[in-house]
Amino acid sequence: MRIVSYLFILSGLFAITACGPEGTNETADKAMAEVATMPETEQPAGFAESVEQAHAKDAFKAYEAIQFDIQLFFGGRERLNGTLTLSTDSRQGLIATKEGKKIYFQDDKIYFAPDTENVAGTRFSAYTWPYFFMLPYKLNDPGTVWNDYPDKSMNGENYLTHKLSFEPGTGDAPDDWYVVYADEESELLQVAAYIVTAGQSQEEAEKDPHAIEYLKYEAVQGIPIATAWKFWGWQADQGLTDQLGEAQLSNIQMLKETGEVFTPPTDFIEG
């Protein structure tokens, strides 16, 4: 599954929950324009490969799946409290909430109980949180284009930083771009700033960029996993601005076998 498979769904979250500045000032507009128009001169793929290696991608892929509990808040409200089981190739997943609800996904299809009322919200949940978790392992997906990003500092810290964009026709939103920040020493992913162009132009999307910050890495079977996330507003000339949300991950397990865990009940509806 490509890195941009879930981006259409992501736009719904931040249209509802964003609480950062409503617009950008002249300096921020100029900085954002520079990000968008940065020359697409091809650079070696070493940055993405180094980050994936730091995240022990090969060791991660040696397992069939990963499972963890997650509690996530946005705008002061709990948005998710449950257990995620995800195949390491990102093609299948199961979200089981503390209330007993289950959502399955297989590639671009989701499966949910017949009494589900909010299908759009269900599809959003099925893809959004797995996408954020799997990001460090998807940096070399087909269609990705990497270029140097000259501003290596953010909020007083220095990083290894590159810009990620996409070849035309890649996934649902090839006009999206990311600015990816990795730790200078460990090369672990620290922050990914991004825009979501689904349903709007690149210019409109650049008025409200966001970022996810990966924190509190812990080793699970030798694989570094960020056990805390924070979501932020982001500006090219300011870095992280207002905090939008946060999540805690716990009880992380690597699974050699999953059996029928990704098979939905026969009465579930395909969406």
Largest CA distance in the chain: 55
Q: According to the model, what pLDDT value does residue 43 have? A: 44
Q: Is residue 149 pLDDT above 80, yes or no?
A: yes
Q: Which of 270, 252, 260, 6 is nearest to 128 (CA)?
A: 6
In a domain? residue 156: yes
In a domain? residue 264: no
Q: What is the CATH number of the domain that holds 165?
A: 2.50.20
Whole-number Å distance between alpha carbons of 123 and 112: 9
Whole-number Å distance between alpha carbons of 192 and 212: 5
Query: 11: domain range?
Result: 7-258
Q: According to the model, what pLDDT value does residue 33 have? A: 53
Q: Is residue 5 pLDDT above 80, yes or no?
A: no
In a domain? residue 271: no
Mean pLDDT of 167-183: 80
Range of lowest pLDDT (126-135, 173-182, 186-195, 198-207): 198-207
Q: Which residues pair with 125 in a beta bridge?
A: none
Whole-number Å distance between alpha carbons of 113 and 269: 6
Q: According to the model, what pLDDT value does residue 235 have? A: 93
Cβ-based neighbour number of residue 219 at 10 Å: 10
In a domain? residue 270: no
Helix (H, G, I), strand (E, B) or coil at 218: strand
pTM of this structure: 0.81
Cβ(209)–Cβ(234) below 8 Å: yes
In a domain? residue 263: no
Q: Which of 88, 70, 72, 55 is nearest to 254 (CA)?
A: 88
Q: Is residue 27 pLDDT above 60, yes or no?
A: no
In a domain? residue 66: yes
pLDDT band for position 166 (50/70/90)? confident
